[in-house]
Chains A and B, each alone.
Chain A
Amino acid sequence: MKLFTKFLLIYLAVSVVVLGIGGIISYHIIKDEIDRELKFEFLDRIDRVTYLLEQGKTFAKFRELDQDENLVIVPLDTFKENDTQVSDTLIWDDRFERDEKNVKVSAFRNINDTTYFISTYGNMIESNDVREAVISILLWILGLQVLGAAGIGFVVSGPLFKPFRNTLHRIQNFQINEKEYLKAEPTNVKEFRDLNIFVEEMTKKAVSDFNNLKEFAENASHELQTPVAIAKGKLELLTETNLNEQQYSYVEKLETTLNKLSRLNDSLALLTKIENHEFSTNETVNISKIVKDGINAFQELLSLNNLHLVTDISDSIMLKIHPSLAEIMWSNLFRNAINHNIQNGEINIKLNSDYLEISNTGKELNTEPSVLFERFKKGEQNSESIGLGLSIVKRIVDQNAMPISYTTVKNRHTIRISLKSVKID
C-alpha cells in the first residue's frame, strides 16, 4: 500500500468519527437554541396576554393571538400564586402521524382578583428537519474533505516527497565499490534533511569499512607472502648444504607445503577481490581465444598424462566480462579437468554462442557435484588441491549472472556455463 493511500484512509476514518460526534453535538446545540428562542417567544406572548387582560380586554377561552392556534386563556375559580412553568410535551403531529416533541409554557397570572391560566406550545422546526439538515451539512463537509485530502495527497506524493524519492533512488543505485559516498540533494524539510544526513553518514561509513576490509585483505595477503618468501629462501639455502636423503625429503615436503600455503593465500585474496566486486569493469573479451590459448598452454601436460582432447570451439565468441576473470575461470576449469582425470582419460570442450562446456573422465563422486562449488570442498579430502578452484569459478559466474551446472554420469563430469547473459552478438 502506498504511503498516500494509507494516509488518505486514516484521514477519512478519523474524519468520519469526528464528523459523527460533531453531528450529534451540532444537532443538540441547534435544537436547544431553537427551543430556547421558542420559550422566550412564548413567555413574551404570555406577558402580552397579561398586559391586555390588565387593560380590561377579555378573551374567549380559545382564541388566537398573533396566529397562535394553541393559545389557551382560562379564568380560574380558585386562587393560585403567580407561576411560570416551561416543559417539553409530546403532541400528535397530523402531518408526520406521530408524537413530536414540543415546547410548552404554562403560567398562572392574578389580574384584577382573578387567577388566569395562560398556556401555549409549539415547535418552530421538527427535530427531523434539524437532523436532516445536520447530516446533509456533514456530508458536504466530508465530500469537501475527500477532495482536499486527494489534493494534499497529490502534493505530498508529488513535489513535497520529491527529496525523499530522490534519496531512495540514490540508495537503490548506490554501489559500494565506487568509493564515493552518497551525496543527497539539499532540502529545507527537517525530516528529509535528517534522513539525508543519516544516509550520507551511513554510506560514508560503509565505503570506509569496505575500503578497510579491502585493504585488510590485501595487506593480509602481502604480509603473509613475505614470511613465506623468507621461509622458501631459507629452504633453498638449506638444500645447498650437505643433506642426506631423509633431510632432503623433509625439505622438499616443507617446500611443497609452503607453496600450498601461498596458493591458498592467493586464492583467498582473489576470492575476496571478486566478492568485493573489484573486477566490475566490463570489457569485451574473445572467449574463443582465451579457451584456445589455455589449451595450448596445457598441451604438454595433456600428452604427458595421456589425455585425449576433443574440441568443438566456435570462433570469435565475444563476451562482456572482465578479461582477468575470464582467464582465471577458464584456467581453473581446464586445470580441474586435467588434475582430476584418470590415466588415458578424455576431455571434451564445447564452446558456442550459448554455452561453454567442459567434460572429463574422472573418478565417480560420492557427493552431490554442486557441493564442490563450496569453499574447501574436495572430491577426495586427501588430495593435494586446496579446494578453492571451483568456488572461484562459481564466484565469477555468479557475479556475471551466468548459470552454471555440474553433472556427473558415472565417471564423466560435465560443467556447463551458460553465456546468454554476457554474450555480445
Chain B
Amino acid sequence: MKILVIEDNQDLLENILTYLKQGGYRCETASDYDAAFNKIMSFTYDIALIDLMIPGGSGLQILRELKSARPQTGTIIISAKNSLDDKVTGLEIGADDYLTKPFQLAELHARIKAVYRRNNLNGDDVVRINEIAIHTKKMETKVNETVVDLTPKEYDLLLYFSSNKNHVLSKQTIAEHLWGDYVGHLDNLDFVYQHIKNLRKKLIQAGANDYIESIYSIGYKFNVNRRSS
C-alpha cells in the first residue's frame, strides 16, 4: 500500500513513517503545500494523510484538489484543531476520516486500514491472522471455519489488534480506540481488561492459539508467533 503523508512537523513525520514502515507500507512525504500539490498531481496513492495546517496553504485545499483529481484515494485529515467547523468541512469535502492530535500511532494505523478496506475492497475484506479470519463486511469472525460469537466491542478490539499485530498496545490506547472521546476522562481502565479477558476466552474456546500477550499487566500485544503451550 502506498501512502502519502502531508505533515510539516519533522518529528511527527518521523514517528508516523517509522510506525508505518514497520507495517510494510511504502510511504512518501510532503511538508508544504507545493510539494504536496506536486505529489498528488503526479502520482497515485492509496491513502493520503493530510495535516490541516501546512506552510504555503491549507490542508483543506489539498483535500479539494485531491478529491477532484483522484477521487479513489482514501484521505485522513490530521489536525490539532479540535474544532467542529474544520471537522465538518473536511468530511463534507470528502475526507474519509478525521483524527485529532495527539493521536496514537496504533489508532492511525487502524484507521488507515479501515479506510483502505472501505475504499478499495468495497468493505468486503477478509483479514487473516493464521487460523483466524475476520470478515469485515459481515462483521463475522471465524476460527478454522468455526464462527466466534463476539460482541461489537470484542469484534472491534480484535480488528484493532489485527491492524497492530506484534505492536504493544497500552490499556490507554485500547480504551481510547474502543471508547473514543468518552474514555479520555475516565480514571479506571479495568474495563479494558474485562474485554481482553472475554475475547481471549472466546478465541481459545473456538480453537485459536492464545495470541494475546499481557505485557507486565500494563499493555497487550497480539503476538502472531505465539503458540499456546
Contacts and interface: CB of A to CB of B under 8 A. Distances in A.
Contact of B82 (A248, A269, A297): A269
B185 A218 contact: no
Contacts of B102: 225-226, 228-229, 231-232, 258, 262
B219 interface: yes
B84 A305 contact: no
Interface in B179-229: 182, 184-188, 190-191, 194, 215-216, 218-219
A222 interface: yes
Contacts of B173: 236
A300 B186 contact: no
Interface string A255-272: 110110011001001000
Contact of A255 (B15, B101, B172): B172
Interface string A308-342: 00000000000000001000000100010011000
B83 interface: yes
B101 A229 contact: yes
B190 to A, nearest CB: 7
Contacts of A218: 81, 83
A211 interface: no
Interface string A139-151: 0000000000000
Contacts, number: 111
Interface in B76-105: 80-84, 100-105
* Interface residue range, chain A: 35 or more
A230 B22 CA distance: 18
A18 interface: no
B153 interface: yes
B182 A324 contact: no
Given A228-B102, A304-B194, A234 B82 contact: no
A232 to B, nearest CB: 5
Interface in A366-394: 383-386, 389
A199 B101 CA distance: 41
Given A236-B106, A248-B219, A249-B216, A230 B11 contact: yes
Given A229-B103, A256-B172, A384-B187, A236 B19 contact: yes
A269 B170 CA distance: 27
Nearest to B195: A300
B16 interface: yes
Interface in A98-147: none
A298 B80 CA distance: 26
A233 B173 CA distance: 12
A347 B90 CA distance: 38
B9 interface: yes
A331 B185 CA distance: 10
A399 B123 CA distance: 45
Given A223-B80, A256-B172, A298-B182, 14 more contacts: A225-B101, A230-B15, A232-B102, A233-B16, A236-B167, A239-B215, A240-B167, A245-B216, A248-B216, A255-B170, A262-B102, A263-B184, A266-B184, A335-B186
9 contacts: A225-B102, A236-B104, A236-B105, A236-B167, A240-B167, A245-B216, A298-B182, A304-B190, A389-B185
4 pairs of A and B residues whose beta carbons are closest in the complex: A233-B15, A229-B102, A225-B80, A222-B80
Interface of A: 218, 221-223, 225-226, 228-234, 236-237, 239-240, 245, 248-249, 252, 255-256, 258-259, 262-263, 266, 269, 297-298, 300-301, 304-305, 324, 331, 335, 338-339, 383-386, 389
